[in-house]
Structures are given as structure tokens and as C-alpha cells.
Amino acid sequence: MANEFATSVDMGLQLTKRIYYGKNPPKPLVMEKKSSEINNLPTAPMVYAVVRDPSMVDNPDIPSYQPYVYGRCDPPALIPLDMQGIAMEVDCYMDTAFVTVNGTWRVHCIASSRYCDCRIAVPMGEQGSVLGVEIETPSRSYSTLLIESNDTKDAGLVANAKDGFLLNRRIYTLKVPQVAGGSILSVKVSWSQKLLYQDGQFSLNIPFSFPWYVNPIAKLLCKKERIRLNVNSGMGKEILCGSCSHPLKETRRVVGSLGFLYESEIRAWSMDDFSFSYKVRPLPVHSSEILGSVLLNRVSMLDVDQREMFCFNLYPPTVNAMKVFRKEVVYVVDISASMQGRPLENVKSALLAALSKLSPADTFNVIAFNGKSLLFSSSLEPSGKESIGKATQWIDQNFVAEGGTDISLPLNQAIEMLSKNGDSIPLVFLITDGSVGDEREICEALRGRLMKRGLNAPRISTFGIGLYCNHYFLQMLAQIGRGYYDAAYDLDSISSRLERLLNGTSSVILADLKIEALESLDSFELYPCYLPDLLSSRPLIVSGRFIGTCPGSVKVSGTLADLSSFVVDVKVQKAKDFPLERVFARRQIETITANAWFSENNQLEEMVAKLSLQIGVPSEYTNLVLVENLKEKQTSKLETVDEKASDQLNVKKIIYLRALGVGFGNLKATADNLPVEAAEPKLHETSEMVFAAASNLCGKLCDFCCCMCFIQFCSRVSDRCAVTLAQLCTALACFECISFCCEVCGECG
């Protein structure tokens, strides 16, 4: 669908040549194109006019009276609207950022007497999740509302909703119906995203690079750009700032918290993404210690879960002062027919890069699977130059996409292959784009086997490709295996995300972690269920719930790479201006959802829905809807509004939107070996069918009118002939109307 979107934008840019700006128009502010602009996908919050009829494209202030344009745009063109103002507010808490963008756009490309739909597109950063949208037009206002899926009166409307979806799972797009040419749209969008961690510092990146063509073509237009940034480390220690893309001015500094502001009148909107990095004083450049903290947060009376909430974080040294565990690695790769083409090529690229980075002491193996499994070797091979060369050749020969999908056999083969001694960390990486019918059985069998082996139990990390695999099965498998999970939903991100998972999760420095004091509390629950190992490449940040009194400090123990024991006292402190329930809502919801799927527990599903509604984070059991409100017209003292008209203004229209969850896999699509891109929603799925049917109907009605003219001629010859022909034409017209209505109803649900 990304190509469809880009094609529509390219067509829209071509249509803007019709806009007339007067005899001496100001020159547009054209700047050098960035590589990200070439494909015309949004790299910052954008609004587009949806144009089906090219004759409506005109300057609403200066009509050009151009010749009428025949035909329609198929698919509809997307014309980027002029942006009038932009402001962004960012709140960072540990590894999570909450972003709110307020912007105004003008429908500068549609004649003042015409109306068009407007499409909002909001690209989000790392693991972005939309939280809400508010829209203001001159005549209507819209806002998203989160509802429980089971409470919907008409479930068919939710199931058949076509709008409000994620493009490549990172660009949220939504359509605003019928906006007048020349009017102003105000849009407010909120989402959450993750910060990446590297070399002892957190880094934030938010798409904020606006293309040159959103700058209004006007001689006198004051453009103001505003960014407010708040940072709270949650550790109560001094924050050290790193790099920043925009000239921020510090406005507030207290221990553990910083505030910044950037506000400026500018000639052109920002052409750089907003980036910022920071580190905490206990983690200086030369720190060689493992440090951590525990934050407590007292729950409110309205909280669905009345247990106390905590956050536990453990940071690796910022220098490579600690020994990394020797690794035994088995890569289990899906080569079913659905992986054909770019998916398998990107997986091969990431896998070969990971093999090249193994240390000489490590051992490895590769298992390729479809309906059967293929082994590079019957046992683990040393990661020498010769072995990796042979493995590369074997991968080139055997990674051929064909057949079905069977995960159980190769996964069991990988686990049995790994040794049961304690001088190395056994790692399994499962990479797949499909789902299978025995997923719960796989999880149940592995849980029993892995829990008995302790340090020798393989760490299972999983990577899902596309929307046909069951991502909650993969998350549950990673939780049971004390590993990590990641996913790629578009072809372009497979290689980079998979390589990051393979390399980042291979550097274990502290294994078999335990939080002794917390685990002895009543009703203790951890998200994720089991503590994974601490890696040298990222901090370990988990949350949980408990009942009881937490001590002032807790002991955290584990095993180092030299097999010696490690114990550290971690201070417990109350969270100050740190909304734990909001920061960890998404990972808590995902963990409980995976457990609800695994145990088939309806009570856990209900808990997820309640948490989702309480905190405002979408889930598998809740849906966003768009609520439309009509604005009251201004009336003079002599004018009155009758009660009936007033009641009509207060009636709210609900537009159902697509579910934003990833679902629980698609067995049929996996069996049919459908490619990854087949799961992408269609950008113009609804409207084009309706307008095609309407166009067909208009053609038939024109034929009907011609027939009636012919009847008038026949009536001069025979009255009976005229009556018969009139009845026949009327029946045909009615039949076409009924067919049109059926097509529309079928598409709209």
C-alpha cells in the first residue's frame, strides 16, 4: 500500500500545477529533495486533499476559470496541503516518549465552492502507538474515542471498517470527510514511542522533516515552529544532555528532570527529524558497574488493578569492562513459499551479518524449515572462518522459498542440539512469517522443559515478519524462553531490525536474575512473566504488581560470565512526577494479552480491555472510533434555533475505524503461502468501489434519459409503444439503482 500512497501523492503534486496564484505569483520555496522525499511517503505529520475530480483543483481565493477537465483520478490523487503552523510537545520517561503534535493546514488547492475529503498521515518513531486524534473544521469537530469491542452494537460495522489504519505499521492515517475548499483544519495527534539505548545513553528520534511543498506560497506569512521537551529519568539523578537536532533552550532543571523549549519564526518548516539524546549521571562515560533502581507508585482508586505498581531497571556498564558469556547459537529460519523474494533475501542479509560477528569461542548452527527441516550440520560448529564460509555457501544453496510451515520440529531440534553444561549461554533465534495450529502446545511443552534446566535452559528470542504470524505466540515463546521479541511489518525494515535483535541479544553479561525481596511479596506479578538476562547493549526495564510492604532496598542476584555469583543492593524509591501506569501500560497490556491467548482466559481478556480503556492505549479487545460533532451556527439576537434543530446539532455521528492490533495470526493465509504485503490494507478500498458504482449508475441514467427522448418520438406513432418502452426503461433504471445500493452497502457494511 505504500506504493499506492506514493503514487497518489505524485499525482496530487502534478495536479497542483493547475492552481493559479495571480499575474505575479511569489516564487515557491523550493529546496533540495531529501532521499526520504523521493518516494513521497510522509516524513512528518501531513494532511492531504483527496481529489477524485480534477476539475475541483483551483485556488479558493483567485479562481482561474480553467477549462473543464474530463475524467476522474483513479486512484484518487493526494495533494499535500499548505501547513500554517506546527507545535510539538514531548514527555520522555526512561525509554518511553509521549508525543503530542498540534498543527493547522489550509485546503489551498480546492475551489471555494467545492468540498473534498482530507487524509491525515502521521509517521511515528520506534514502536509508535497512536493514542488519540482531535480535528477541528469550520463546521464540524472530530475526536477519537476508545471503546470495548464487545460493547459495539453493530459488530459488522467494526469488522468492515476500512479507514483509520497503519501504513507499514508506523504511519497512522485517517480520513476527514467533506471539508470546504479554502477552510482551515486544526489537527491534534498523540502517540507514544520508544527511545533507543546505545553507549550508555537514550536517544529519541521523531519524524519531523517536512517536504518543501507544504510551505505556503504567500508573500507575507509568519511561520512559527515550537517544540517543548520534558525529560524525567526516573532515577532522581542528574541528567546529562547529548546531541540535539534543534536549538533547544533549557527552561527547567531539577534533580532527575529537565525542561527545554524551542520557539522560532522561520522561513521554511523543519526539514530535519527531531532527535535528542541523554544519559544519567550515575552512568558516566567510564562507569564499569551494573547499576539499577526500583520505583514504586501508589495506585489510584480508579485503577482496575488495585495492587501496588513497581518498575525495576538495571543498567549495564557503559564501557566493555565486563566479560560476555560464550554463546551456543542456533538460528531457526522459515523458508516457506510465502518468504519468497525480498523477505528471505533480507533475512539472509541479517543472518550473514550476525554470523560474521560471532567471536572465536562461540559455536553455531543453522536450521531452515518449511514443511520439513534442513540442518547445516548435525551438531554445533565452531565460528571459525572456514565454518562460516561453509555456512554461507549452504545458506545460498538451501534458502529456497517453498513448501508450508512447521515450527515444532525445527524448534525441538535446536533445543536438543544445545549443550546442558553451564559454561556458555545457549541461544535460539526463531524467525518466521507464518502461524501454525499447535502454537499453544509448543509453548506448553517448552515451558515444562526449560524451567527445569535453569542457567542451561536455552534463551529463545523470536522475530515475526508481517501480519500473518501470531505475534502473541512469538511474545509468549520469548517470555517462556527468557529471551527477546521483535517484529518487522514492512519489507524495508526486516534486515535492520533483525540484525539489531541478533546482535544485541547475543551479548549476555548477567544471567539467571532474581529480585529476592520482591519475589517474596504476596500476589507478585512481573511483566514479562520471567526476567530475561542483562545484555551489554541495553538496560533491563520491567514492571510489575504486588501486595504488601516493599523494603527500602532489594537484593538483585545473578550469574556472571565467569560463573561467579553477582549481588547488588538496589535502592527502592517512590516515583515522583513519573506516571508508571502510563509509561508501562503498553508492555503490561501486551504481556497480559499473550497470557490470555495462551491460557484462553476470558477474565484476562476483560482485564486487558479495562486497562486499555482506563489508560487510553489501544489493545486487541478495544477499538478506536471517530466521533463527529456538528458546530452550532452563530445566530443574531433576532434569530432563534428551534428545539428540533438544536437536538439535531447535539446528535453525534460515529465513524468506525479499523482495529489497530496485530491480531493472533492467520492460519489460512499461512497455509495458502500469501506474501507479507498481501496483509496490507487498501488505501482507497471503500471509496473507489462506491464511486465506480456511482459512475456506472450515472451512465445508465444517461441512457435512460436518451430512451425517454426516443419514447417521446415513438408516442407520435403509437401510444401503446410509448407506454411499453417507458415501463421497460423505468424497470431497468430501478434495477441499476438497486444494484448500486447493494454495492455501496456491501462495501460500507
**What value does the mean pLDDT take over residues 428-456?**
88
Closest CA to 475 of 387, 640, 591, 381: 591
pLDDT of residue 692: 40
Indicate if the pLDDT at residue 416 is higher than 70: yes
pLDDT of residue 574: 86
Angstrom distance (rounded) from CA 274 to CA 252: 20
Indicate if the pLDDT at residue 632 is higher than 90: no
Helix, strand, coil abundance in the chain, percent, nearest 5: 30, 35, 35
Asked if 675 and 341 touch (Cβ cutoff 8 Å), the reply is yes
Angstrom distance (rounded) from CA 129 to CA 174: 14
pLDDT of residue 489: 93
> What does the pLDDT look like over 505-529, one tens digit per residue?
999 999 999 888 776 777 788 899 8
Element (H, E) at 745: helix 719-748
Average pLDDT, the chain: 85
In sequence order, which residues have a C-beta less than 8 Å from that of residue 661 and are 6 or more positions away?
618, 619, 620
pLDDT of residue 193: 97
pLDDT of residue 713: 43
User: Which runs of E-coded beta strand occur in 503-637?
Assistant: 508-515, 522-527, 534-535, 540-547, 553-560, 565-574, 622-630
pLDDT of residue 25: 67
pLDDT of residue 282: 58
pLDDT of residue 93: 94
**What value does the mean pLDDT take over residues 221-243?**
87
Other beta carbons within 10 Å of 138: 12
Angstrom distance (rounded) from CA 749 to CA 732: 26
**Residues present in the chain in total:** 749
Indicate if the pLDDT at residue 718 is higher than 60: no
> What does the pLDDT look like over 336-385, one tens digit per residue?
999 999 999 999 999 999 999 999 999 999 999 999 999 999 999 999 99
Indicate if the pLDDT at residue 630 is higher than 70: yes
pLDDT of residue 3: 84
pLDDT of residue 26: 65
Indicate if the pLDDT at residue 680 is higher than 60: yes
Q: What percent of the chain has pLDDT over 70?
A: 82
In sequence order, which residues have a C-beta less than 8 Å from that of residue 48 and are 6 or more positions away?
9, 12, 78, 79, 80, 81, 118, 119, 121
Task: Please give the order of strands across the beta sheet that includes 274-280.
Answer: 196-198, 201-206, 274-280, 239-244
Highest mean pLDDT among 33-42, 509-518, 689-698: 509-518
pLDDT of residue 322: 81
> What does the pLDDT look like over 737-748, one tens digit per residue?
454 444 444 444
Q: For 171-185, 205-219, 322-336, 461-475, which range has the lowest pLDDT when averaged over its residues?
A: 205-219
pLDDT of residue 286: 47
Q: Which amino acid is at 710?
A: F
pTM: 0.87
SS3 305: coil
Task: Please give the order of strands across the beta sheet that includes 291-297.
Answer: 522-527, 540-547, 308-315, 291-297, 565-574, 553-560, 508-515, 534-535
Closest CA to 501 of 428, 589, 415: 428
Q: For 54-68, 432-446, 577-591, which range has the lowest pLDDT when averaged over its residues?
A: 54-68
User: Which runs of E-coded beta strand occur in 442-549?
Assistant: 459-465, 482-488, 508-515, 522-527, 534-535, 540-547
233 — pLDDT class (breaks 50, 70, 90): confident
Indicate if the pLDDT at residue 669 is higher than 50: yes
CA triple 120-187-99, angle to 5 deg = 90
DSSP H helical ranges for 160-267:
none
Asked if 202 and 195 touch (Cβ cutoff 8 Å), the reply is yes
In sequence order, which residues have a C-beta less than 8 Å from that of residue 580 and are 6 or more positions away?
295, 297, 309, 310, 311, 543
730 — pLDDT class (breaks 50, 70, 90): low
496 half-sphere exposure, CB direction, 13 A CA radius: 6
64 — pLDDT class (breaks 50, 70, 90): confident
Q: For 363-377, 487-501, 635-649, which range has the lowest pLDDT when averaged over its residues?
A: 635-649
DSSP H helical ranges for 150-254:
155-159
Asked if 180 and 241 touch (Cβ cutoff 8 Å), the reply is no
Closest CA to 481 of 463, 503, 504: 463
Indicate if the pLDDT at residue 128 is higher than 80: yes
**What value does the mean pLDDT take over residues 546-558?**
86
pLDDT of residue 21: 78
Q: For 223-237, 382-396, 678-692, 711-725, which range has the lowest pLDDT when averaged over its residues?
A: 711-725
pLDDT of residue 744: 42
Angstrom distance (rounded) from CA 315 to CA 300: 29
**What value does the mean pLDDT take over residues 194-206?**
92
The three grid cell numbers given for residue 376, joined into one nine-digit string:
547445516
Closest CA to 608 of 624, 620, 616, 625: 620
Indicate if the pLDDT at residue 415 is higher than 50: yes
Beta bridge partners of 175: 119
Which residue's entry shows cell 511489518?
Answer: 489
Angstrom distance (rounded) from CA 352 to CA 399: 12
Element (H, E) at 130: strand 129-136
